[in-house]
Structure 1
Amino acid sequence: MTVKEFLNKVRRQNSVLLMYEQELSELRLRMVNISSPGFGEKVQTNHIFSLEEVLEKMESQADKVNRKWDACKEMKEQAEVLIDKEPDEYKRCVLYRYYILCQSWEQIAMDMHFSLRWITKLHGWALQDLEKEFLLVPKKM
């Protein structure tokens, strides 16, 4: 596995975690909107989630989020250790912003006051610099 493959894996983990957290938020909203039928009201035959079903799904989703969070945190820590080995602060900043903070290339260029082309060059040089260091990182990845 190359440095780029490892760091992209970290970035993807973060995206999956955000997706799970969004699903958990939607379940919380659904729980708030649950209402029970009043007396004399006809109950429709289509499936309406009960409070118990939503709570069960929320619990399951919260467990999934927690497991993914733990895995993501561990990988991010390993990535941060690797990125910190980059001696140039600009290259290190580009790597950190892209892979750890999951910022877009355009956002990084704007925040650092560089052109998009220069940011991508810094990124490429940083990856080349870290290839040697990556071989020394323990293989828990």
Structure 2
Amino acid sequence: MTKKEFLRQYLDLSREIDAKLEEVRRYRALATKVTQSLAPDKVQCSQGNKMEAIIAKLVDLEREVDAEIDQMIEIRAAVKAAIDNAPDSKHRTLLRHRYINGKTWEQIAVEMHYSYMHVCRLHGEALDKLIM
């Protein structure tokens, strides 16, 4: 695993969790959606089965998300420790902005008052000097 891949794993997992949380919200909306058929001559038993399937999927997905959140916390601690060990404060700041806060190069350049190209060069230096 390269240094960049190591640093990116926190944000990558965070984005995966966000996508799964969106899926959880959709399943919760389905589970709480109530529809009733007003036809007195038909009796449907399949509605309960659909609801059970949705709730089962929701529970499984929530367990997955919980496990991934635990993993993300561990990864964040490892990434933050590696960044904190960078020898230069400019490098630490840049790496935190990028790999912990998920900011774009343009946002980092504005916040650090550097040009885009200087931020790119600084990032290369930071990766070279990073000790993992």
1:71 equivalent in structure 2: 71
Amino acid in structure 2 at the alignment position of 1:40: P
Amino acid in structure 1 at the alignment position of 2:27: L
Percent of pairs identical after alignment? 29
Tell me how far 1:90 sits from its aligned partner: 2.1
TM-score (norm. length: structure 1): 0.78
Count, aligned residues = 130
SS in 1 for 2:120: helix
1:13 aligns with 2:42: no
Amino acid in structure 2 at the alignment position of 1:83: I
**Runs of 4+ displaced beyond 3 Å:** 41-44
SS in 2 for 1:114: coil
Greater share of residues in helix: 2
- Relative to structure 1, is the Cα distance of residues 37 and 89 closer, same or farther in structure 2, using a 3 angstrom cutoff? farther
1:28 aligns with 2:28: yes
CA distance in 2 between partners of 1:42 and 1:112 (Å): 68
Stretches of structure 1 lacking an aligned partner (at least 5 in a row): 135-141
- Relative to structure 1, is the Cα distance of residues 74 and 50 closer, same or farther in structure 2, using a 3 angstrom cutoff? same
1:86 equivalent in structure 2: 86
SS in 1 for 2:68: helix
Map residues 1-141 of structure 1 onto 2, 5 A cutoff.
Answer: 1-40=1-40, 50-130=50-130, 133-134=131-132
CA distance in 2 between partners of 1:50 and 1:87 (Å): 57
Alignment root-mean-square deviation, CA: 2.5
Deviations 1:70-119 (A, max 9, x none): 11111110000000011322211111121122222222223333222222
